[in-house]
Amino acid sequence: MTLKKVRLPKDAQLSNTFTLLDTSESQVFMFIENHGTTSPFGNLYISDEKGRSFTLSMSNVIKGVAVDFERVNSLDGTFIVNRYNKLVPGQRSKPDLSITEFDEADMISEEAKKSRMQRPGMENTSRKQQSTVKEAMRIPDSIPQQEVFDNVRTYITHNKGAKWELIRAPTQTSKGSPIDCHVEDECSLHLEIYSQGPTLAPVYSTETSVGIVLGTGNLGKRLSNVNEPKNMYISRDGGLNWKSTKAGAHIYELGDHGSIIVAAKHD
pLDDT tens-digit readout, 215-255: 999 999 999 988 899 999 999 999 999 999 999 999 999 99
Residue 85 placed within a domain: yes
Task: Let me know if residue 186 belongs to a domain.
Answer: yes
Give the per-residue pLDDT at 20: 93
Range of lowest pLDDT (129-133, 174-178, 195-199): 129-133
Residues in CB range of 210: below 8 A, 6 or more apart: 74, 75, 257, 258
243, β-bridge pairs:
234
Share the mean pLDDT of the chain: 82
Q: What does the alpha-carbon distance between residue 51 and residue 77 come to, in Å, rounded to a whole number?
A: 16
Residue 155 vs residue 133, higher pLDDT: 155
Would residue 20 count as lying in a domain?
A: yes
In a domain, 250, yes or no: yes
Query: Mean per-residue pLDDT for 197-201?
Result: 85
pLDDT of residue 103: 55
Backbone angles phi, psi at 228, to 5 degrees: -90, 160
Residue 53 included in any domain:
yes
Rounded to an integer, what distance in angstroms lies between the CA atom of residue 204 and that of residue 213? 6
For residues 153 and 93, the model is more confident at 153
Q: Which domain holds residue 48?
A: 6-99+145-265
Report the 10 Å Cβ neighbour count for 80: 23
What are the distances in angstroms from CA 140 to CA 82, 90, 129, 170?
18, 10, 20, 35
The H or E element that residue 219 is part of is strand 213-220
Q: How many residues does the chain have?
A: 267
Q: Is the pLDDT of residue 132 over 50?
A: no
pTM of the model: 0.80
Cα gap 25→47, rounded to integer Å: 11
Residue 214 lies in a domain: yes
Instruction: Flag whether 68 is in a domain.
Output: yes
| DSSP designation for 224 | P
Give residue 257's Cα distance to chain centre. Answer: 28
How far apart CA 247 and CA 233 sit, in angstroms, is: 9
Within a domain: residue 130? no
pLDDT bucket at 106, cuts 50 / 70 / 90: low
Q: What is the tally of structural domains in the chain?
A: 1
At residue 6 the predicted structure's pLDDT band, cuts being 50, 70 and 90, is: confident
